[in-house]
Amino acid sequence: MRVSFIIPNWNHKELLDQCINSIKALTGDAEKEIIVVDNASEDGSAELLRVKHSDVICHANSKNTGYAKATNIGASMSTGQMLFLLNNDVRLYPDCLQRLLTCLDNNKRAGAVAPLLYYPDGRLQISCRRFPSPAALILEQIGIYELGRFKKWKMTYEEHFCSDEILQPMASVLLIKRECWNEVGTLDEGFPIFFNDVDWCYRLYTRTKYTIALCQASGAIHHEGATVNRLGIRKKINFYRGLISFYMKHYLR
């Protein structure tokens, strides 16, 4: 079994180093192929890879092409039976991959699987959501969890520990079967920064027979927003641009 780790990177040399080290420390017998797609970083990321991680495949873009395109480039270069989408601000627990593979093996309907994510201080990160229907977002804003058949967008803390099947995990850490990736298709590069992972999961559920599993036995540390938080007000602008693009694509057609 070969697993292709696909890591977009933009000016996060230290976190990238920690991420790659955590991959190399993973337990289990799977062959690991690590692909970093660097979006024209200026912090010495390329030098880090050349000197310390020469076994890592590096594709250097001449400009910042964004998360979706960088991920698609990495996927097109990969050769594994499994694609592991991974943010550069993630540190995997040593048994993370082994437990995710076991979960997929035990759940034949699942085309992808995500672990639980934790903040560096050990708190659980709310990383799983339903699809952002207008009703779900309204309930989210007014603080109501459930109203009739409608539920708020983000899953609750308790749901993260009792749900084996989920609609939309953050793609910060997502293990995908090659055949599932091929059937769903690549990430939509038309989304600005946010919602390309929401769109991918939505296409999985509406166009294929696959599901997405949540493996509570597997975990990773995620420095949430390490890259996008540097955008300032543009982060919120791009969030709403992504949401509108999602509605235009899936709700208004």
Query: What is the phi/psi pair of residue 218, to 5°?
Result: -115, 145
DSSP secondary structure string, the chain?
-EEEEEEEESS-HHHHHHHHHHHHT--SS-EEEEEEEEES-SSSHHHHHHHH-TTSEEEEESS---HHHHHHHHHHH---SEEEEE-TTEEE-TTHHHHHHHHHHH-TTEEEEEEEEE-TTSPBP--EE----HHHHHHHHHT-SEETTEE-SBPPHHHHTT-SEESEE-TTEEEEEHHHHHHH-S--TTS-SSSHHHHHHHHHHHHSS-EEEEEEEEEEEE-TTTTGGGGTHHHHHHHHHHHHHHHHHHT--
Residue-level pLDDT at 33: 98
Q: Give the whole-angstrom CA distance, residue 227 versus residue 233.
A: 13
| Strand-pair partners of 112 | 176, 212
Looking at residue 231, its pLDDT comes to: 60
Architecture label for domain 2-130+157-250: Alpha-Beta Complex (3.90)
User: CA-CA distance, 122 to 212, in Å (whole number)?
Assistant: 24
Write down the pLDDT at residue 232: 64
Q: Whole-angstrom Cα distance, residue 167 to residue 198?
A: 9
**Mean pLDDT per 10-residue interval, the chain, length 253 residues:** 96 95 97 96 92 96 93 98 97 98 96 97 95 85 81 91 95 97 97 90 97 98 70 75 90 73
Q: Sort strands 150-151 and 146-147 into parallel, antiparallel or unpaired.
A: antiparallel
Structure confidence at residue 106 (pLDDT)? 96
pLDDT at 191: 87
165 is written with which tokens? Answer: 């099947």
pLDDT at 236: 80
Q: How far apart are CA 64 and CA 122, in angstroms?
A: 32
**25 token code pair:** 């420390």
Structural contact between residues 117 and 220, judged by C-beta atoms closer than 8 angstroms: yes
Sketch the domain layout of the chain as residue ranges: 2-130+157-250
pLDDT at 10: 92
pLDDT tens readout for residues 131-172:
988 888 888 888 888 787 778 889 999 999 999 999 999 999
CA distances, 36 to each of 16, 24, 126, 147 (Å): 9, 14, 26, 44
pLDDT recorded at residue 241: 87
